[in-house]
Chains A and B, each alone.
Chain A
Amino acid sequence: MVSDQIKAERQEAILTRVIEREFAPESGGRWARRLAEMAWIFDTTGRPEQAAIASAAAAAFAESDAAPLRHPLARVLAQRALELAGEVAAGRLRAADVSRKP
């Protein structure tokens, strides 16, 4: 029998592993570039608040000592990917439907 706290810690460990692997420093620059581009698009289309959020998210990725574990966007992205993969593993979704490969 495993307590809820231990289960949460184990799940958090898996999530941390995914974030550290997928948001490595070399890919963090690309995420920052993408978010900066989105900030420009938001600003051009008259959405300054969302542009500021995207710019702040890009700045967090662009920092040399960036900690993606504390990045809300990175955490949500990783959680979303795990949920989708879990659905595929359970057979409720097809892998081809959620795959990003052509």
Chain B
Amino acid sequence: MIANSQICYHPSCGVARLSSIGRCERASTTWRSVTTPRRRHLADPLTRFARTENLYPRGVTMPARLRGGRRPPARGGDRLGGSEALQPSTRSPCPGIGDFTLFVTGIFRERVEAYRASIGYYITQGKRAYHFVWEHDRRQLARLPPTRRPLPEARRRIRHATRAPSTLHSPRVLHRPSPAPVLPAPLLDDRSGRRPRSGIAAGAFSRRLSTNGSAPTQNTHGADALPGAEPARRSAPGAASAARQTAGALPSRSVVSRRPPAAAGPRGAAPRPARRARVSSPASTGADRARRGSCSRAPTAAARSARSFSTTSSASPRSPAADITKRRLEAELASLRAAQKLPWVEADPARAVGLVAESLQIHRERGTAPPSAFGRWQSFFTEIAALEPPPAPVANADMLARSDELLGLPELGGWFLDPETVQSDALEISRRRARAASWSPTRSRPSGRRPS
């Protein structure tokens, strides 16, 4: 029956009406267009009221209306005969009343009308019952504290889907470069066997190391613990003091650290060759750019390239860049990228150095000075030769005719001659335009009426 029927949600048809297909002309919603929750809500009373006894309220064996013999609206009576249904004071009968009215007005509509019962009465009571249920639940939820209120279904699904396994924590193993079994396992609490929640207990770390280092046969293990203490301090902030104490206590026990020889430092040691360099396009504003309108921006761009090169590679001995910490280096690179939105190109360090030297050479030839910000790096490029000129580019007349298109690119957006150098020419043009405008017939003609 359901398969060959459709539901009419038209207000004149009641809360819902299940009629044969094509029978109700006002039907606007077919069964297929009904959403799944609504289908479930409709299928539930249909299946529940398939058994006739479920039509009656619990504890009622015979319909009150049927006993009175006046208004038997449906098969076996209804739930609307009692006073509790008309004026619901408790929640428990209300869902059943709503479902009953929905079912009866949909399935047995003709029978209700045949018994001269009011369809509107059923609809009103059904709405009232559903509204009472909704209002009752809403007030019950409002009484609960916000933390105990149940989440809506959508939010609950989202939380369930995105819930991170926060309750699962993998034990963090101390990273130790030494293979000696000083710390054979992650440090655990001696009593509970659990890992401390925040870092490593300072006492536990110290006890472990001091125990391993106290025995004469295991002193070497204590020495091995020294290089392991620093990574442990980094990974577990709570072990910082323990690492420091252990490092200070081990020498008193004749434990000699077997640290590897220090790497060549930035000062007084062999310089490390540069591995990477970045070159940006010469389209940035600079201190000495286009002094007299001619091309003098290459030095500025190369100086910026040198800056990026120096901060990136730390190539020179006694370089101030060696004193730059990693954080400062990152901050400087970030500021460079933020100041210049143009693309950065990875280049051979020799090329970057050569560009810097070339720009400095141009500065010397022109008698100009590089930007003051470059002064801290300039001394490292005194003995570096300029870059060899690249091979001559190939002439192409067609491409040359399109060369003005380049000025529309962001990289060349800042390419223009200094207006100060052409100021006199611009003034001359302006004067000539003004003179021509003053002699134009429209200006020289009098504004009054012509004499007749």
A53 to B402, CA, bound (A): 7
Give the segment of B2-10, B79-87, B255-263, B408-416 that binds chain A.
Answer: B408-416
Q: Is the CB of A30 within 8 A of B294?
A: yes
Does B441 count as interface, using CB distance less than 8 angstroms? yes
Does B137 count as interface, using CB distance less than 8 angstroms? no
Q: Is the CB of A37 within 8 A of B417?
A: no
Which residues 387-409 of B sit at the A interface, judged by CB distance below 8 A?
389-390, 392-407, 409
A29 to B441, CA, bound (A): 48
Q: Is the CB of A73 within 8 A of B406?
A: yes
Cβ distance B396 to chain A, nearest Cβ, rounded Å: 4
How many A-B residue pairs lie within 8 Å, measured between CB atoms? Answer: 184
Q: Is the CB of B400 within 8 A of A57?
A: yes
Q: Is the CB of A78 within 8 A of B422?
A: yes
Contact partners of A98 in chain B: CB under 8 A: 419
Interface size on B, as a range, is 35 or more
Does A38 count as interface, using CB distance less than 8 angstroms? yes
Instruction: Name A99's contact: one of B286, B401, B418, B427 (CB within 8 Å).
Output: B418
Known: A41-B281, A73-B403, A95-B420. A56 touches B394 (CB 8 A): yes
Does B289 count as interface, using CB distance less than 8 angstroms? yes
Cβ distance A32 to chain B, nearest Cβ, rounded Å: 8
Known: A85-B423, A99-B419. A56 touches B345 (CB 8 A): no
Contact partners of A62 in chain B: CB under 8 A: 392-393
Q: Is the CB of B416 within 8 A of A80?
A: yes
Does B141 count as interface, using CB distance less than 8 angstroms? no
Cβ distance A75 to chain B, nearest Cβ, rounded Å: 8
Which residues 1-52 of A sit at the B interface, judged by CB distance below 8 A?
1-2, 7, 10-11, 14, 17-18, 21-24, 26-27, 30-42, 44-45, 50, 52
Report which residue of B390, B399, B430 has the largest number of chain A beta carbons within 10 angstroms of its beta carbon: B399
A59 to B430, CA, bound (A): 35
Q: Is the CB of B407 within 8 A of A73?
A: yes
Does B151 count as interface, using CB distance less than 8 angstroms? no
Q: Is the CB of B289 within 8 A of A76?
A: no
Q: Is the CB of A30 within 8 A of B403?
A: no
Known: A88-B419, A89-B423. A81 touches B293 (CB 8 A): yes
Instruction: Name B419's contact: one of A11, A57, A84 (CB within 8 Å).
Output: A84
A38 to B411, CA, bound (A): 8
Q: Apart from A14-B429, A53-B405, A80-B417, what are 6 other A-B pairs with CB-CB below 8 Å?
A: A22-B294, A54-B403, A57-B400, A73-B404, A88-B426, A101-B418
Q: List 20 A-B contacts (CB under 8 A).
A: A1-B439, A2-B435, A14-B428, A17-B425, A21-B293, A22-B293, A26-B294, A30-B362, A50-B406, A52-B396, A53-B403, A56-B396, A59-B394, A63-B395, A71-B400, A72-B401, A72-B402, A81-B417, A98-B419, A101-B418
